[in-house]
Structure formats: structure tokens, C-alpha cells
Amino acid sequence: MLSDRVRMNAYFNSIFQNKHHFQGKTVLDVGAGSGILAIWSAQAGARKVYAVEATKMSEHARALVKANNLEDVVEVIEGSMEEVTLPEKVDVIISEWMGYFLLRESMFDSVICARDRWLKPMGMMYPSHARMWVAPIRSGSVDKKINDYEDAMDDWYHFTNETKSKYGVDMSVLKKSFSEEQRKYYLQTSLWSNLHPHQVIGTAAVVKEIDCLTVTVNDILEVRSNLSSSITLENTRLCGFGGWFDVHFRGRKEDPAQQEIELTTAPSIDNGTHWGQQVFLMHPPIRVSEGDGLNVSFLMKRSMENHRLLEVELGCEIRQCSGTILPSFNKKFYIE
């Protein structure tokens, strides 16, 4: 993540182009990791910075703070945000809490907890806003994943035949369970990808907008949206949907940023970010053309087995330019 220049530049610029939010202020860095955001906050003029990190990474953060002669300003605290106690409330909460497709890992819960416990009434959130996006895509990966699944099933049939003929044990009763397991792995688990903009074949739509000053945990337990898109390429394949996010550093209405900064993980012509995009592939792809309209239903919720992981249900109805409405479909995916 420290090598992710899009990430690093966005946070660096948001701090140093808005020093008025930091000079003489108290700052809380939630999930401080290496402590880089805490160090920048101090360099921008913060009076005191509390860098809270739940893991032993805090030891490296302390070493970096000492090496940069900021021990009088930055205090590294090892512990979970839900349990630590600070000696004062803070003017700014800064955190790089975003997971894949924004909400994987559920770290934002800790940021919300920190805000509710420790942010002053007129305090700032860095970042201040976030959005989730979805767009139709084309991808050669869809064919590879179908082939991988079929190869796995061919291997299964070979295995069961051999086991029965050589060892006298009929394993075929497990076919359904094995097939479901392989289908989930190859066809229903979302893929991490760095999409090229040319792979986006239709208009992108916002799935969720988040105001970091006011959002609650309940607001993000489920993300539900009905959205529309239009195909922008002639005679192509709808292979699925790509999902990404952006965050903004705007300050707050009463004290806006002098320079608003955006960090986006949208498909890029360069190397993009370490977050990339989440790709939800459809099997089989559907032939579409410019002007075809998509009505998409989107539901994302946390996995019952592991709240850090996500489950997504995507439904889509396609209205062709001719007026023909294709049969709608619904797919379930897992962000693991």
C-alpha cells in the first residue's frame, strides 16, 4: 500500500493542501499502520496526533516517528479503537480504512466508533465522503473461468470413475457438493482486476454515497440500490459488472477544504491502485449493442460466516434498442 502512488498522493495532497485543518489541531489516525498519515499530520502543523494501531505494526510506527523526530507530537497507541481511551477529543480523524470495493474488511466500523467517541462537534473526517460505483464490462476472463470450472468437473468424473474401478468405492454421491463448491470458487467469487477503461462498455452508476460525518454502521450493513445503465459500444458482450469506489477530502460545510482532493479506484490506463476493481462475471455472456438499456438491482451484505467478507446479489433486465426485453437474470457473488 505504501507503494500505491495514487493512494499516497491523495492523502499527502489532502493534508498539505489543506494545512488549515491541521495546524495547531489534535488529530486521531485510526488504524495507523506504519504511521505515515500521523507523521504527515504532524509535519502539517498538528499540535498532537494519536496514532492508534491494533497490531504489532505499532512498533514500526513508533520507530518511524522517532526517526522523524516527532515523538513530542505523535503518540502511537497499540490497541483496538473500540477499547482505547484518549485524554482528549480531537479536531480531525484521518484514516485509510477502505477495503476492496470500499467496504470489505469492515474497518469503517472502527472509524465510525472513533468518530462517535472522540471527534469534536465541529471536527473533520479525512476522507469526508465516499461513493461506490458499478458499470457493465467485457472481459476475456469469463471464458477462462467457465473453462476452469468445466476442467474441474472433468477431473472429478475421472477421479470418481477411477476410485470406483480401482478401489471399489462409489464417490458419485458427492458430485452435487463438489460441483457447488467449484461453481462458487470459479463462477461466483468476484475477481480482483485492474480493468482498462476500454473494458467498460456502458455508463457507470453510483450504488452508494456515504457522508463520513453522519453515516452509521447500520447504514452500511446492507447496501441496496436500483440503478440504470446504457450500453455505449456497438455489438459487444456483456460479461458482467465491475465495481469500484472513490473517496473525497472536502472538509465539512462549515469549514470546507481549500483544495478538494479525490482518490479514485476507477479503471485506469496506467497501473491503477492496489484496490483495483471487483469484477462480477456472468455465465454465459450476453450479446448487447449501443443504446441497450440495463436496469440493475444491487444488494450487498456481510457474510454470516465472516463479517469481514461480503455477499452480492445482482439482478439485471436488458431492454434492447428494438424494444425487446430480454429475460431478466439474478446472480449471487462472494467478495472473499
pLDDT tens for each residue of 172-218:
999 999 999 999 999 999 999 999 999 999 999 999 999 999 999 99
- Output the pLDDT for position 270: 81
Mean pLDDT of 222-247: 96
DSSP 148-211: HHHHHHHHHHHHHHHHHHHH----GGGHHHHHHHHHIIIIIB-EEE---GGGB-B--EEEEEEE
- Output the pLDDT for position 265: 97
> At 6, which amino acid appears?
V
User: Residue 88 has which C-alpha cell?
Assistant: 482528549
User: Residue 86 has which C-alpha cell?
Assistant: 484518549
Confidence of residue 132 (pLDDT cuts 50, 70, 90): very high
Confidence of residue 136 (pLDDT cuts 50, 70, 90): very high
pLDDT tops 90 at residue 271: no
Confidence of residue 113 (pLDDT cuts 50, 70, 90): very high
Cα–Cα dist 229/292, whole Å: 9
- Output the pLDDT for position 141: 93
pLDDT tops 80 at residue 131: yes
> At 269, which amino acid appears?
I
Active site residue 105: yes
pLDDT tops 90 at residue 65: yes
- Output the pLDDT for position 106: 83
128-336, which class in CATH? mainly beta
- Output the pLDDT for position 111: 98
pLDDT tens by residue, 81-98 = 999 999 999 999 999 999
Chain mean pLDDT for the chain: 96
pLDDT tops 90 at residue 257: yes
Long-range contacts of 249-254 (CB under 8 A, 24+ apart): 249/10, 249/14, 249/18, 249/126, 249/127, 249/128, 250/128, 250/129, 251/18, 251/21, 251/124, 251/128, 252/122, 252/124, 252/125, 252/128, 252/213, 254/122
Q: What is the residue extent of each domain of the chain?
A: 1-96, 128-336
pLDDT tens by residue, 183-195 = 999 999 999 999 9
Task: Name the more confident of 4 and 257.
Answer: 257
- Output the pLDDT for position 333: 97
Q: Do domains 1-96 and 128-336 have the same CATH topology?
A: no
Burial bucket for residue 320 (CB in 10 Å: 0-12, 13-18, 19+): middle
- Output the pLDDT for position 269: 85
| Candidate list 53, 59, 71, 96, residue with the active-site label | 96
Confidence of residue 54 (pLDDT cuts 50, 70, 90): very high
| Candidate list 75, 78, 105, 336, residue with the active-site label | 105
pLDDT tens by residue, 308-331 = 999 999 999 999 998 999 999 999
Confidence of residue 110 (pLDDT cuts 50, 70, 90): very high
Contact 316, 329 (CB under 8 A): yes
Active site residue 96: yes
Other beta carbons within 10 angstroms of residue 39's beta carbon come to 22
The secondary element (H helix, E strand) that includes residue 261 is strand 255-264
Confidence of residue 1 (pLDDT cuts 50, 70, 90): confident
1-96, which class in CATH? alpha beta
pLDDT tops 90 at residue 277: yes
- Output the pLDDT for position 147: 95
Contact 262, 162 (CB under 8 A): no
Confidence of residue 226 (pLDDT cuts 50, 70, 90): very high
